[in-house]
Amino acid sequence: MRILYFAWLREKIGVGQEEFAPPAGTLTPRDLALVLSARGPGYAAAFADMRLIRCALDREFAGLDESLGAAAEVAFFPPVTGG
Amino acid sequence: MRRVSVQEADFDAGAELAALAADGAGGVASFIGVVRAESGGQKLVAMRLEHYPGMTETMLARLAEAAMARWALSGCTIIHRVGRLTPGANIVLVAAASRHRAEALAAAAYLIDRLKTEAPFWKAEEFCAGGEAWVAARPEDEAAGKSWA
């Protein structure tokens, strides 16, 4: 799947997007964040406080505990601040 | 007319409102968001805005559609800029045209309130004193967005 990061998540992780094949058993965005956190200190810092993380599955806002289903694109970002 | 745009370029608010007025509705209400000069007591050099290309446009189009369905509008416009903007620069324009001022005013308030919680934009502030910080979401914006449900 393609994973996208925005705002300070992108800065902490160091890339805006990447391809990643999550291991079996990665069922939700929260599971995925946990798996990603183990990839390095930047990831761990980005996902340190999950209360600050929002996500989208295939460009639709989704809850962290929703099923990833067949999503091809998962995005992680802080709460939006437009306007 | 229904117009949605995410762009780096500035917009001409007068021309945008005139285009809505040209539909003949009789009234146009609008809100323009502008980069502020300071934040939390610190003077700003600039504000940087980023978004989620592909998702943002969809969310803004849905908002415009929802406003058109909810109120008797002849048209509405949402333009949001991205990139690095300096104090005083336009950030966002929302506008709605209707025969009735109450509908136009309510629709414009709806568009900006919902945009703030449903469109994937993020702002970072650059300070005159050096350094920068990502803007945190405000609980009152969340409450304002939800109030239209």
* Best mutation target, B31, B52, B140, to test chain A (most A CBs within 10 A): B52
Segment B24-74, tens digit of pLDDT: 889 999 999 999 999 989 999 999 999 999 999 999 999 999 999 999 999
- All residues of chain A having their beta carbon less than 8 Å from the beta carbon of residue B92 are 82-83
Is the predicted pLDDT of residue A63 greater than 90, yes or no?
yes
Is the predicted pLDDT of residue B139 greater than 90, yes or no?
no
Out of A59, A61, A81, closest to residue B123 by CB: A81
Asked if A72 reaches chain B (Cβ–Cβ under 8 Å), the answer is: no
**Between these two residues, B142 and B5, which has the higher pLDDT value?**
B5
B101-118 and B55-70 helices cross at what angle (nearest 10)? 150
Mean pLDDT of all residues in B113-141: 95
Mean pLDDT of all residues in A32-59: 97
Mean pLDDT of all residues in B99-128: 97
> How far, in Å, are A30, B53, B91, B139 from residue B42 at the CA level?
36, 30, 20, 21
The pLDDT, as a whole number, for residue B24 is 86
Whether B121 sits inside 8 A of A83 (CB atoms) is yes
Whether A80 sits inside 8 A of B135 (CB atoms) is no
Is the predicted pLDDT of residue B142 greater than 90, yes or no?
no
Strand B2-7, strand B73-81: pairing: parallel
Listed by start position, the domains of chain A span 2-65
Out of A8, A59, A81, closest to residue B55 by CB: A59
Identity of the residue numbered B89: A
Instruction: Tell me A70's DSSP state.
Output: T
Asked if B91 reaches chain A (Cβ–Cβ under 8 Å), the answer is: yes
Segment B66-110, tens digit of pLDDT: 999 999 999 999 999 999 999 999 999 999 999 999 999 999 999
Whether A82 sits inside 8 A of B135 (CB atoms) is no
Question: Sorting pLDDT into bands at 50, 70 and 90, what band is B23?
Answer: confident
From the CA of A12, how many Å to the nearest CA of chain B? 12
Listed by start position, the domains of chain B span 2-146
The pLDDT, as a whole number, for residue B75 is 97
ipTM of model: 0.95
User: What CATH number is given for B2-146 in this structure?
Assistant: 3.90.1170.40
